[in-house]
Amino acid sequence: MAEQDPRQRLGRNDWVLAGLRALVRGGIAAVRVEPLARDLKATKGSFYWHFKDLAELHQTMLELWEALATTAITQAVRTSGRDPYGQLMLLVDMVSVRPGEAFGGVEIDPAFRDWGRCDPRARAVLERVDRQRLADLQDFLRAAGVAETELLSKAQLIYAAVIGLENLRLTTGDEMGPPLRALVARLVTG
């Protein structure tokens, strides 16, 4: 029986997910065609069937992360049917969930932050994600009754806590949900 053509078995998404896992394991320098092909048990030709070059894969990884890191989460929260405080707590719960290993696991956000420090294209995406997350947090806080003059500072505190707790989770294994819930409750309800 003839082996199935790798282009038929692997989709573009398989290569993107492999790229995300490689990014977590070794930074952007680890996202190279040959190692990805080995990991996927595929040929380089399969990669080039789906992508013009490595830069296109990098761009696709950035676009996927940006969509997942912003729009997907806030859209789910906004359409949850919960009251404003309930939406904030749902947001906390969603950002506290450990990302699946298929997407690189708990190290995915820190890996993108590292990439953003050395690549202008990744930095631009990281800056957009940070601005969008802060704007979304301000919207949720506003809806929950936080005074306009306190929105930015409280959004920044929450977002800084998310980033810090993500990194702390890597070294201690501690869950980030409980401390983040306590912080948001204190900032919103006093």
List, for residues 61-114, the tens digit of each pLDDT value: 999 999 988 888 899 999 999 999 999 999 999 988 877 776 677 788 899 999
Q: Is residue 49 part of a domain?
A: no
Q: Is residue 3 part of a domain?
A: no
For 87-102, write each residue's pLDDT tens digit. 999 999 998 887 777 6
For residue 183, give Cα distances in angstroms to 89, 103, 180: 11, 27, 5
Identify the residue whose tokens are 């719960």: 93
Q: Is residue 53 part of a domain?
A: no
Amino acid in position 17 = L
Domain tally, the chain: 1
For residue 119, give Cα distances in angstroms to 38, 125, 174: 25, 10, 30
Q: Is residue 124 part of a domain?
A: yes
Q: What is the CB neighbour count within 10 angstroms for residue 181?
A: 15
Amino acid in position 1 = M
Contacts 24+ apart (CB under 8 A), 122-125: 122/28, 122/58, 122/62, 125/62, 125/63, 125/65, 125/66
Domain that holds residue 149: 61-189
CATH number for the domain that contains residue 92: 1.10.357.10
Q: Is residue 126 part of a domain?
A: yes
Q: Is residue 92 part of a domain?
A: yes
Q: Is residue 42 part of a domain?
A: no
- Rounded to two decimals, the pTM is 0.87
Q: Is residue 24 part of a domain?
A: no
